[in-house]
Amino acid sequence: MSDIRNDVLYAVLNKSYALIDNDTGRDTHKTYEFRKQIILDDKSLTENEKFEAIKIITKTYDLNKLIFDEGAKRICENCNQECLATLFCEHCVRNYLKESFSNWTSGNDVIDNLIRECQMKVITPEMIPEWIPYNNLRNIEYLTKGGFSEIYEATWIDGYFIEWDSKKQRLVRFGSHEVVLKRLENVENANQSWLEEVSILKCLKFN
């Protein structure tokens, strides 16, 4: 939003964090409610800025709940399952990704299976690993060579997933932005041990 004063917004966010005492800081929900109240009471923020600030701390709140698998649950209005997240339903996100499995492939079954496995364990939209087809990149320029790979910069046309649209039941992308690419050797012959050795992808497991 163009009317958001980021310097003021983040000053209040930093203040809300700095004021947390030891007792409050030990409880994820108390921390969230405390920071939320600080934001709501702040007279320097506009209503739009308060909305954005609360959205930011809610993302952190959701992340902590999902990482530690704790906190109040709610019933998703769409899938009717219990979920921990506030801004999205982790089950709906995974179902959405699962329905898209047939829409993409890297051309390598091992890589495809690893990406799909990680997508089924994902905890937030911003952390979703995915295969990016070459035609979704532009302005690819060589930078340097390092280790066992060549380094490039490029523009990712669609960009990564940034949030879940509960009304439309779909993931929303950030949009075009710059990324750094690595061209790995022998990727055509990749197998499970090769993937483990180069750590091409790391799953954040949701238990």
Q: Report the percentage of the chain scoring pLDDT > 70.
A: 86
User: Sorting pLDDT into bands at 50, 70 and 90, what band is 189?
Assistant: low
pLDDT of 64 reads 92
Name residues whose C-beta falls within 8 Å of residue 66's C-beta, 6 or more positions apart in sequence.
Answer: 84, 85, 90, 123, 124, 206
Answer yes or no: is pLDDT of 197 > 60: no
- The 3-state DSSP class for residue 155 equals strand
The H-assigned helical ranges of the chain are 6-18, 22-25, 28-41, 47-68, 90-99, 109-119, 192-198
d(CA 42, CA 53): 11
Q: Report the candidate in 159, 160, 154, 158 with the shortest Cα–Cα distance to residue 138.
A: 154
Mean pLDDT of 165-194: 81
Answer yes or no: is pLDDT of 198 > 70: no
Lowest model confidence (mean pLDDT) among 36-50, 77-91, 106-120:
106-120
What angle separates helix 28-41 from helix 6-18, to the nearest 10 degrees?
Answer: 130
Per residue in 114-147, pLDDT tens?
889 889 988 899 999 999 999 999 999 999 987 6
pLDDT of 194 reads 54
Per residue in 16-53, pLDDT tens?
999 999 999 999 999 999 999 999 999 999 999 999 99
User: Residue 136's Cα: distance from chain center in Å?
Assistant: 19
Name residues whose C-beta falls within 8 Å of residue 199's C-beta, 6 or more positions apart in sequence.
Answer: none
Answer yes or no: is pLDDT of 166 > 70: yes
d(CA 128, CA 179): 16
